[in-house]
Every structure is written in structure tokens, then in C-alpha cells.
Amino acid sequence: MRFATWNVNSLGVRLPQVLDWLAAQEQAGQPVDVLALQELKLTDDKFPHEALQAAGYQCAWHGQKTYNGVALLSRLPLQAVVKNIPGFADEQARVISATVGEGDGDGTHSVRVVGAYFPNGQAPGSDKFAYKMDWLNALREWLRQELVQHPRLLLMGDYNITFDDADVWDPEGLRDTIHCTREEREHLQALIDLGLADSLRRFEQPPKTYTWWDYRDLGFRRNRGMRIDHILASTALLPHLSACAVDKAPRKNERPSDHTPVVLTVA
């Protein structure tokens, strides 16, 4: 099975690109089975479920006007859908979870998938940074329980956090700025400490591999980017991971999202 995550920066604008990308994967003989989308930027009533269903995908979505919004697309049924972080009151639509495959997530063949759009945080010391920290605390404590109930779990999405300097095009110039602060990285490490692993780094990657490039100043052409979209896999899934890579092709489209997909293959 192949799992992917993609921050599309408006599904209203990017739907044709999503459909094209999914079709291209299928034509290449590597269909994407589950795709997590972030930044839909549309309300639930505007979600294009018919077009996606016609393309062979069942959907679960949690939308919001103007900002945020997340969805899961799957070729197999999505079961036990949960929106946002239970117990954490949040007006922002940032998380959607479901079980894919047989069973309820604790079975041998099913996987519990959590798709997430982590808060940006804007700048250290801001109200939005404080919200990011609160949100990360809530996510971690909820996932601690989820991993007990669902040992086979993937956490994928736009984390808005880099692991280390290798994830940043200019680590000196961007030191301690948003996505690169010690506090954010400690939160990311705390997720790893729950029993999750960074799928991409389990496989050899080209140097300067990023998932986001600024629209401004020819960021993509100059490869001035950051790796802030991740797929974390639970310990129980690790023996089954067979590949993980960033697909830069969609970032070369006309009117691209500023993010590009990360794809994980699980045997």
C-alpha cells in the first residue's frame, strides 16, 4: 500500500492537480491508496467528494472557511473517522483520522491513519506560537493513547517543524526562526519518543531534500526550501516500510501548491 500527504494550499484551486497526480501515479503502476490533504480552505459543503469518488477514492473531510481544513482520500473504506483531537477544544479544523483496511486498527492488516495540519506558529513569542505549543501538547497526549489502541499507526501531514539543520536550506540564516526553534523540535522529538519514526530518513535521500519552497524569490528554482511535511510510522509498522520519497513533480506545475507530496510504501 502507498500512503501520501500533501498540503494543497486550497483544494478549490488545486483539485485538478490532485486528480492529475493520482491518475499519474496509477498509470505508473504505483497507485496511491491513501492520501492525506491539508489546507483545503473550504467549508464542508464545498468539498469535491463527487469528483474524487469518480476517481476511485472514498473521502472523509473536516473543512473550514478560508483557512485550514483536512481530508483523507482512500481506495479502501475509511472506518471510525475522528475529527480533530478529542478532548482539545479547537475552532480550527486541523486533524482527521480513520482506519484503513480490515479490522479496527488493531488488526493485522489495517492501519490507523492520522492526517494533520500542524499550526504554523508565525513567530516565537507570538499568541500563535503559544497556540502551536498547546496544540502539540494535546496531540502528543492523545497519540500516546491512540498508539496503545492502534499499534499500526501513521501520522502524516504538514508538521510545520523541521527536524534539524539538514531540513533547512539556510540553517544559519533561519536559526531559531519559526519551524526551526528548539522548542518546536523538542515537540517533534517527543512524538518520536512515543514510538514513532521519521519514514523518509529510513531510506537514502538526495541531499537538500525539502517538501516546501517559498513562492517568492524563485524559492523552488533555487531549492531554497524546508522539509516540514512528514510521515511518522509506529514501531509496529517499521518492518513493513519499503520506500519513502518526496515527489517534486507537482511543485513544477503551473499555479502549484507551495508544498509537494511525500509518499510512503508499506509492504
**Residue 37 one-letter amino acid:** L
Find, among 59, 110, 122, 66, the residue nearest to 91 by Cα. 66
d(CA 193, CA 64): 31
Could you tell me the three cell numbers for 94? 486541523
Q: Which is nearer to DNA, 66 or 108 (CB)?
A: 66
Least distance between DNA and beta carbon 65 (Å) = 4
3, three cell numbers: 500512503
Task: Look up 158 and say whether it is catalytic.
Answer: yes
Round to whole Å and give the CA distance between 93 and 67.
8
Per annotation, catalytic residue among 20, 33, 104, 117: 117
The residue within the footprint of DNA, chosen from 101, 196, 258, 264 (CB under 7 A), is 258
Q: What residues from 45 to 74 belong to the interface with DNA (CB under 7 A)?
A: 65-67
Residues 110-139 interacting with DNA (rule: CB under 7 A): 119-120, 122, 128
Q: How far is the CB of 99 from DNA (least distance, A)?
A: 27
Among residues 170, 182, 215, 240, the one that binds DNA under rule CB under 7 A: 215
32 interacts with DNA by CB under 7 A:
no
Q: What character string, x for contact with DNA (CB under 7 A) and - otherwise, covers 189-208?
A: --------------------
Nearer to DNA, 119 or 195 (CB): 119
Under the binding rule (CB under 7 A), the answer on residue 209 touching DNA is no
Burial class (CB in 10 A: 0-12, 13-18, 19+), 193: exposed
Q: How far is the CB of 218 from DNA (least distance, A)?
A: 8
Burial of 151: CB neighbours in 10 Å, binned 0-12, 13-18, 19+:
middle
Q: Tell which positions 157-186 bind DNA, by CB under 7 A.
A: 158, 160, 178-179
Q: Select from 99-107, 180-188, 213-221, 242-250 the region that touches DNA (CB under 7 A).
A: 213-221
User: Residue 3 interacts with DNA (CB under 7 A)?
Assistant: no
- Whether 215 is a known active-site residue: answer no
- Please pick, among 33, 90, 134, 158, the residue that the annotation labels catalytic: 158
Smallest gap from residue 21 Cβ to DNA (A): 15
Measure the CA–CA gap between 241 and 27, rounded to whole angstroms.
22
Told to check if 84 binds DNA by CB under 7 A, we report: no
- Of 9, 97, 181, 265, the one binding DNA (CB under 7 A) is 9
Task: Kindly list the catalytic residues.
Answer: 117, 158
Contact positions toward DNA, by CB under 7 A?
7, 9-10, 12-13, 39, 41-43, 65-67, 119-120, 122, 128, 158, 160, 178-179, 212, 214-217, 226, 228, 255, 258-259
